[in-house]
Amino acid sequence: EQLFGAEGIRIAASSHTAAINFIEEVVREHGIDCEFERVDGYLFNAPEQSVEILKRELDAAHRAGLRDVELIERAPTEFITGPCLRFPRQAQFHPLKYLSALARLIEARGGHIFTHTPVGNIRGGSNACVTARNGATVHAQDIVLATNTPINDVLVIHTKQAPYRTYVVGFEIKEPCAPGLFWDTADPYHYVRCARDGEREVLIVGGEDHKTGQDDDGTLRFEALEHWTREHFPQVGAVCYRWSGQVMEPVDGLAYI
């Protein structure tokens, strides 16, 4: 809100809500088995922080049009979070199962998907076309560039966003945890959710983000995540997954899509 004003965050909140609704509609219309479910989101403070942070966020959320966000005494977790914000009707799903189904739907409707075909050049305008590095050229009325960061512009957007590496650990749990998305205000922050791996329940905990290329201590990051998790969720069992990935962070907090 400080950067974009009340109207800017209203539009952002509305667009994110519409995106969740759209995915839910596609899943329902086409019977996609991707474990989509509506869950609440819970934002809680790091231990040393004041509840005033959450109160300011609550006021901003209401000004953004999210009138059903509320400040509650604690999140439904095994550890005591203290006051937190509850964001109703968020969602989680298995993104690869969802995308695989979309790919099948595209092909069933006559579309074609070509993988392992690196693009060498993109030209817009009335004679738009894409030239692959193998020499093949595809002409189209419209071209949508949907890469994580632009491949046709090496200056403008690249100076407005930075790559960060985030770390994730999955733990076996004997009993299902409370449904929901949980994240805190620590820096770097932690994010938590439950998922199913076949018949097994898995607690997924991520965080320990840093700018890509500025640190080379992944082992320590995983250890810190495991320590934080066992301190807050003592019922977790063995570590069954560890991975890291890269995310693009815009300088002003709002995605450039």
Q: What is the pLDDT of residue 257?
A: 75
Q: Record the pTM.
A: 0.88
| Residues 188 and 181: beta-carbon distance below 8 Å | no
Place of tokens 């938590």: 192
| Residues 34 and 94: beta-carbon distance below 8 Å | yes
Q: What is the pLDDT of residue 78?
A: 84
Q: What is the pLDDT of residue 156?
A: 81
- CA dihedral sign, ordered 68, 202, 104, 31: negative
Q: How many helices (H) and strands (E) does the chain have?
A: 4, 11
DSSP bridge partners of 166: 245
Q: What is the pLDDT of residue 198?
A: 79
Per-residue pLDDT of the chain (257 residues; tens, 9 = 90+): 999 999 999 999 999 999 999 999 999 999 999 999 999 999 999 888 899 999 999 999 999 999 999 999 999 988 889 999 999 999 999 999 999 999 999 999 999 999 999 999 999 898 999 999 999 999 999 999 888 888 877 678 888 899 999 999 999 998 878 889 999 999 889 999 998 887 788 999 999 999 988 888 889 999 999 999 999 998 899 999 999 999 989 988 888 87
Residues with Cβ within 8 Å of 147's Cβ and at least 6 positions away in sequence, in order, are: none
Rounded (5°) CA angle 185-172-198: 110
End-to-end CA distance of the chain: 18
For the chain, the 3-state helix, strand and coil shares in percent, each to the nearest 5, are 25, 35, 40
| Residues 145 and 157: beta-carbon distance below 8 Å | no
Buried b (16+ CB within 10 A) or exposed e, 9-34: bbebbeeeeeeeeebbebbeeeebeb
Which amino acid type is present at position 165? R
Q: Left (φ > 0), alpha (ψ -120 to 50) or beta: where does 237 sit?
A: beta
- Which of 255, 249, 157 shows the shortest CA–CA distance to 210? 249
| Residues 155 and 199: beta-carbon distance below 8 Å | no
How many residues does the structure list for the chain? 257
What is 119-140 written as a DSSP string?
EEEEE-STT-EEEETTS-EEE-
Collapsing DSSP to helix, strand or coil, 112 comes out as coil
- C-alpha 110, offset from chain centre: 30
